[in-house]
Structure 1
């Protein structure tokens, strides 16, 4: 399967630039923008020309950061996953590789599940010792979803060592609507992949979990756990709606980025 997106970021003269840039429909990208506060950071936005993922889609992406690159890759905004009665699943596969001198923030757009949508996602992550990657995996249930028209959702994040050995496999499944009254309808996990950050993330955990809001109609639940084999950390978020989810995701990714950059500078 050929990749719809194949990007390589590299550090060149104190900046992060694209040294490999290949893409095809339905994905589009613009130029790399430097961060005004951190000039070494390069940011790019991935756009979906169709604005949706349709039944039978099979989209593969490759993202590589090397040679001291510090890349931020964001989605254009929430992307709907369309469905039809008895329609085939839509599949997205992302391969991420970060070398020992580099960093990546992959802030993928939340996928919005609509009636009859079946969605499968697989993200493979390999971060060499010394490198860091922060990845966002988010899904929102459309307000029109009911038990009768709910399809399915499956997301697998597989973290491997440079020698190919499996460090962690995180799998999430949804095959029906949440049964609990006033249950959250928007879910995300922020993965921090990389070794040597146990002290920083342990100290940061109370601040992240304090983002939980358990009253009113905009409830948010936040929990932090470490991944096996020292692969990294996972921040789980469950929110009442997509707006509350995005607000919390922004706070979580900002806190993680700020603290891990501070550790890297020591």
Structure 2
């Protein structure tokens, strides 16, 4: 039987600290308290936990995350989440709506989804960041070591970025319907989206450093940077040999983004 889970959070700056002004969730999603970063008191961090530890066929996990009134929020997953499947099973869907106003910032890093045999998974994200705001969003998937071409289900990811008036600025879509066939092909993939206006000069200058992570990590990982249409932001693409290497690369990318200095500095990787 399908289980529908929901998460609805709104962060705001109150008394110099980012707090939850709206907090709704239901099983299997759980959240704890907002933790304050001693080095950055305005930054509030929350960990979202999946009590089941997995997404099953037919699941629809609907989430809404908003950051307003000067909030500076980091929302992270508790670890990689398995996406399970059965032969002929339904698609599991995670649908996330992100809103960041002109005074606020957000880091959304839900941790990779691990695709197991016969799993069909679809991730959809709608993002609206008002001019002056900033969001860093991570979309990551890992292919389970036991996956074979005969057992592979499907993976789809769609990230839509819109203006405040609803105008579509960018649509980034990725589809994987078979195992990579190239010898020693990457098995873990991520895109780190940097969404917000006025980042072109800083991101252009930072791109060589980000792409050099392919060499600096000393392991099998590839990093490429591209801008999104209509000034919506930038996408940092990562392909890695496995999930551990992928997580290290994502952390390195987030750390590199920290050196950006705009009106709203980028968010750093977890400490």
TM-score by length of 1: 0.96
2:105–2:264 Cα contact (<8 Å) kept:
no
Residue 215 of structure 1 deviates from its aligned partner by: 9.9
Distance (whole Å) between structure 2 residues aligned to residue 63 and residue 137 of structure 1? 15
1:214–1:220 Cα contact (<8 Å) kept:
no
Distance (whole Å) between structure 1 residues aligned to residue 252 and residue 33 of structure 2? 26
2:84–2:117 Cα contact (<8 Å) kept:
yes
Residue 36 of structure 1 deviates from its aligned partner by: 1.6
1:45 alignment counterpart = 47
Distance (whole Å) between structure 1 residues aligned to residue 163 and residue 224 of structure 2? 25
1:224 alignment counterpart = 225
TM-score by length of 2: 0.94
Q: CA RMSD in A?
A: 1.6
2:199 alignment counterpart = 197
Distance (whole Å) between structure 2 residues aligned to residue 259 and residue 24 of structure 1? 37
1:264 alignment counterpart = 263
Alignment of 1:21 with 2:23, yes or no, is: yes
Distance (whole Å) between structure 1 residues aligned to residue 121 and residue 264 of structure 2? 40
1:96–1:125 Cα contact (<8 Å) kept:
yes
Residue 259 of structure 1 deviates from its aligned partner by: 2.7
2:255 alignment counterpart = 254
Detail structure 1 runs of 4+ shifted over 2 Å in the superposition: 213-216
Residues 213/146 of structure 1: CA separation in 2 closer, same or farther (3 Å cut): farther
Residues 57/203 of structure 1: CA separation in 2 closer, same or farther (3 Å cut): same
* Corresponding residue SS for 2:223: strand
Give the number of equivalent residue pairs. Answer: 263
Summarize the alignment of residues 146-225 of structure 1 with structure 2, pairs less than 5 Å apart.
146-213=148-215, 218-225=219-226
* Corresponding residue SS for 2:213: coil
